[in-house]
Amino acid sequence: MQLALSSSTTTVTVEAAERLGFVDLTPLLEREVALAGDGFAIVFSRHTTCALVVNELEDGARRDLKARLDHLFPPSIYYAHDDLTIRTQNLQEGERANGHAHVAQMLMGGTSHTIPIANGELMLGRWQRLLLVELDEPKPREVVFRVYPA
Amino acid sequence: MQLALSSSTTTVTVEAAERLGFVDLTPLLEREVALAGDGFAIVFSRHTTCALVVNELEDGARRDLKARLDHLFPPSIYYAHDDLTIRTQNLQEGERANGHAHVAQMLMGGTSHTIPIANGELMLGRWQRLLLVELDEPKPREVVFRVYPA
Amino acid sequence: MQLALSSSTTTVTVEAAERLGFVDLTPLLEREVALAGDGFAIVFSRHTTCALVVNELEDGARRDLKARLDHLFPPSIYYAHDDLTIRTQNLQEGERANGHAHVAQMLMGGTSHTIPIANGELMLGRWQRLLLVELDEPKPREVVFRVYPA
C-alpha cells in the first residue's frame, strides 16, 4: 500500500523533579501515534543540558546513572563554560554553572530518536521507555514529537 | 521526482558470541535497501542493554571499546539495579546482574540510527559498518529495519 | 494537507581547525531546509572518528569537552587498534594512531540526527547548534544532509 505523508507535530513541556531525575515520555508519545498505522516518530529535545534515552524505568537504574554521571562528569571540578572571568559568549542574566551538564549531553547525545510504529504502537521492546534525563537543575523542557504515518 | 512512501519493515534477530562482542548488521540491512532508490533506513534496537554503533569492524577497536567500557562502567562495582535487597520494580525470574549494561547503554545511546540511501545503497563512508554491541551476556536481540524509498 | 515526498540531498565537506575542534554546520543545514515547509532533516556523518553533536557553540564548553574526552579516552594509553605488531585488518598506507578516537566515537555516537523542520526552519532550541566534533587529527569530513518536506 502506498500512502502520502501527513505528519502531525506536538510539542510537550515537562519538568523533572530533581537533577538527574527521569520523566517518562512514553505515554505522551503513545497518545500521538495511535492513529499512525505503520509509520515512525521523530522525538527531538530542544535543549543542550538534558537528554532523551530509551531504557528501563527503574529506580535503581536511575540511581546508577546518577552515580556514574557524577563520577564521569563531576559537577565539582573546573569547567571553562562556568568561568565568568574568561567567558564572553552567550552570556545571560542568571547564568547557571552547568558546564558539567553540557559536557555530559555532548557525550551522551540523546537529542533525537527515531522510533518505528506498527499498527499504531511504538515498536518498543518489553523494557524500553522513552525517558527525558535532566542533567541540569530542573526547569521546563520542550520535546517535539513529529509523527509520520505511512 | 515525487514519490509516495511505501515502507518495508524487517525485524532481524541476532546474537553476539560474547559480552562486548559485535554483530555486523551491515549485510542484513544492505539486502533490505537494494530496491529503495534514494530513501532512508531507520534501524532500531528493541533492547535496553545493547547498542547500535556505526564504526569500523576491526578486532583491535573492539578490544579497545571493551577495555574502556570495563573501565568506565565496571561490572564489579555496586549497582542499585542489581541490589535485590531494595529493588521492587520490573523483577522477573532469573533477573540478571546487568546494572552496568543499563548505565552504559544510557550513556552510549545507540537505540536508533537513520541512514540515508542513494541508488539502493547505504550512504556509509569507507570504514563505516552498522554494528550491534552486546553490553550484557549474549542473548537473542531484535533489531528493526524500516526502509523508506523516496 | 497531504504531500508526497520529494527529498533533496546535499553532501558538505568541512574540516576542523584542530583535534577536538568544532565546525558549526547549522548555517549550511539552514540553507537546505528553507524551502522544506514542515518536514525533517536527516544529518549523517560518513566517518568513524568524528561525531555530530547538537549543543551550544561556546568556547568554554568546547574546552570542557576536550578536557573530559582526553580524561576518559586518553590518547596516551594502549589501543589495540594502533598496535601494528598484532593488527591484520583494514590496514592502509599512513595508518593513523587513532584508537582513542574510534572508542570515543563509539561511546558518543553522533553518526546521525533527525531534526524536525517547521515553516522552513529547524526546530532547534535557543542554544542548540549542529556541530561536527573532530576526534582525530583534522581532515576533510563529509556530512550528508537529506531533507524531506512534508
| Residue B42 or residue B89, greater confidence | B42
- Residue A4, pLDDT score: 54
Over residues B90-105, the pLDDT tens digits come to: 877 777 889 999 999 9
- Residue C1, pLDDT score: 34
User: Which 3 state secondary structure label does DSSP give C112?
Assistant: strand
Average pLDDT of the residues in C51-62: 96
Average pLDDT of the residues in C61-85: 94
C107: nearest CA partner in chain B:
B108
Residue contact C116–A144, C-beta within 8 A: yes
- H helical segments located in chain B: 26-33, 59-72, 99-108
Sorted by sequence, the CB contacts under 8 Å of residue A131 that are 6+ apart come out as: A22, A23, A24, A25, A26, A52, A53, A54, A55, A57
Give the span between the Cα atoms of B145 and B8, in whole angstroms: 8
| Residue C9 or residue C87, greater confidence | C9
* pLDDT above 80: residue B4: no
**What average pLDDT is seen over chain C?**
92
- Residue A92, pLDDT score: 78
Cβ atoms < 10 Å from Cβ of C4: 16
pLDDT per residue, tens digit, chain A (150 aa), is 344 558 899 999 999 999 999 999 999 999 999 988 899 999 999 999 999 999 999 999 999 999 999 999 999 999 999 888 888 888 777 778 899 999 999 999 999 999 999 999 999 999 999 999 999 999 999 999 999 987
Average pLDDT of the residues in B1-30: 88
A41 vs B contacts (CB less than 8 Å): none
| Residue C92 or residue C10, greater confidence | C10
Task: State the pLDDT confidence band at C4, using cuts at 50, 70 and 90.
Answer: low
| Residue C26 or residue B92, greater confidence | C26
Beta-ladder partners of B132: B23, B52
Q: Name which of B55, B115, B124 is nearest C102 (Cβ-Cβ).
A: B55
Interface B-C, measured as beta-carbon pairs within 8 A, has a size of: 113
Q: Name which of B7, B45, B81 is nearest A61 (Cβ-Cβ).
A: B81
* pLDDT above 50: residue B27: yes
- Residue A3, pLDDT score: 45
- Residue B41, pLDDT score: 97
- Residue B92, pLDDT score: 78
**What average pLDDT is seen over chain B?**
92
Over residues C122-139, the pLDDT tens digits come to: 999 999 999 999 999 999
- Residue B88, pLDDT score: 81
Task: State the pLDDT confidence band at C89, using cuts at 50, 70 and 90.
Answer: confident
* pLDDT above 80: residue C27: yes
Q: Name which of C40, C57, C63 is nearest A146 (Cβ-Cβ).
A: C40
- Residue C9, pLDDT score: 95
Task: State the pLDDT confidence band at C6, using cuts at 50, 70 and 90.
Answer: confident
Residue contact B1–C6, C-beta within 8 A: yes
Residue C77 has φ and ψ, to the nearest 5°, of -85, 175
- Residue B5, pLDDT score: 57
Q: Name which of B5, B109, B113 is nearest A53 (Cβ-Cβ).
A: B109
Q: What is the pTM of this model?
A: 0.94
C113 vs A contacts (CB less than 8 Å): 111-112
Q: Which three cell numbers stand for residue C137?
A: 587529527
Give the span between the Cα atoms of C60 and B120, in whole angstroms: 43
Residue contact B2–C7, C-beta within 8 A: no
- Residue A6, pLDDT score: 81
A109 vs C contacts (CB less than 8 Å): 53, 108-110
Average pLDDT of the residues in C74-101: 86
| Residue C94 or residue B32, greater confidence | B32
Nearest to B118 by CA among C145, C106, A85: C145
Q: Tell me which DSSP letter residue B66 carries.
A: H
Whether A143 contacts A132, CB under 8 Å: yes
- Residue C2, pLDDT score: 42
Among B3, B25, B52, B64, the strongest candidate for a mutation testing the C interface, having the largest count of C CBs within 10 A, is B64
- Rounded percentage of chain B residues whose pLDDT exceeds 90: 81
- Asked if A40 is an interface residue toward chain B (Cβ–Cβ < 8 A), one would say yes
Rounded to two decimals, the ipTM of the complex is 0.92
**3-state secondary structure string across chain A:** CCECECCEEEEEEECCCCCCCEEECHHHHHHHHCCCCCEEEEEEECCCCEEEEEECCCHHHHHHHHHHHHHHCCCCCCCHHHCCCCCCCCCCCCCCCCHHHHHHHHHHCCCEEEEEEECCEECCCCCCEEEEEECCCCCCEEEEEEEEEC
